[in-house]
Amino acid sequence: MEHPGFFKRAGPFTLGLVAETVGAELASNANPDLEIVDVLPLDDAGEGHLSFVDNPKYLPALETTKASACIVAPKFVRKVPSGTAALRMREPYRGFAKAIALFYPESVRPKTAGPAREGDSAPGVHPSAVLEPDVIVEPGAVIGPEAHIGRGTTIAAGAVIGYRVHIGRNSYIGPNAVVTHALIGNNVVIHSSVAIGQDGFGFAMGQEGHMKVPQIGRVVIQDDVEIGANSTVDRGALRDTIIGEGTKIDNLVQIGHNVIVGRHCIIVSQTGISGSSELGDFVALGGQVGVVGHLKIGAGAQIAGSSNVRGDVPAGARWGGTPAKPVRLWFRELTLLRQLAERKDVKIDQEEGGDGE
């Protein structure tokens, strides 16, 4: 059965109303009475959909989009396809935030479990929640409306399972973990105080202040994933955040919105992956790695601990350093710097009458 989603969509709205709401100027050839039914990414959008572009990296997607309308900066209007109406504004990301709030007004505030009601099947379990046989709900756990928990799964003490969350079979949700806006597979282990499905860090910055961008995506965690204590996985803004089958995540890891992690990856403690980055299968990230947003790390790549990844990494590569680069080049740089520093020390000692030791 297809999941019904976590947020109710409003509308449809006319293009003229959308433009007025977001503060954009319609192109002269745009039909203000055109019906807009939803907001989607450029490559998923079709007839009746609104999208936006703010980052030049996505201009190729803009040129091929099938969206009925798109919010763009004036400098990108020429890139908008002939079948797509342009909504011009100086700050497209801010306009996008307003459009999301228009179509998904409930998304401005997170949905968790809701209040307990008389007649709950167990303390903290909402009557509309579905628990298969052999589910263990420990004291103090809360399971929200329309949640579904599979056979043999344990919800540990103090954990919170939010509205419409689905969890598969033989999984474990640790003490004080919070799972919202998420679909979780079988044999998944989520350790204590993990937070899954909270808002991604999306703000349209500007002179008027930082406007919150509602996040209407989900978190999808596939089978056999393990997530260490105090790690966080943000839900997607429009797309889903996805953790692939068999991936193992250490403690204190942050995974941003729209991130896609492939199958059987290893992510070590204190690593941070910024929004919309993608990791291929069997990628390994050492401890304290930082990955900037909107880049791709190819399948089988390995990144050394404490590295900062600022560009795409080819499949099978081994990189390290800040900024990260192929390890052979990184080691050569470190060797040259050490040799230069040692020569400098010798010269200083000689000038000062020392023996260079």
Give the model confidence (pLDDT) of 292-339 as tens digits.
999 999 999 999 999 999 999 999 999 999 999 999 999 999 899 888
Q: Is a pLDDT exceeding 90 seen at residue 96?
A: yes
Catalytic annotation, residues: 257
Q: Please give the structure tokens belonging to residue 83.
A: 């079948």
pLDDT at residue 259 above 90?
Answer: yes
- Rounded CA-CA distance 48/231 in Å is 38
- Is residue 202 classed exposed, middle or buried when 0-12, 13-18 and 19+ CB atoms within 10 A define those classes? buried
* Joined tokens for residue 227: 């997530």
State yes or no: pLDDT of 357 exceeds 70. no
Comparing 206 with 234, the larger pLDDT belongs to 234
What whole-number distance in Å separates Cα of residue 306 and Cα of residue 157?
35
- Position 57 scores a pLDDT of 86
Query: Which of 57-71, 100-114, 218-232, 299-313 is least confident?
Result: 100-114
* Residue 170 tokens, joined: 């033989």
What pLDDT sits at residue 299? 98
Lowest mean pLDDT among 221-235, 272-286, 340-354: 340-354
At 351, give phi and psi (nearest 5°). -65, -30
Contact between 29 and 45 under an 8 Å Cβ cutoff? The reply is no
Token pair of 286 as six digits: 């050492």
Of the candidates 310, 196, 300, the residue with the CA atom closest to the CA atom of residue 253: 196
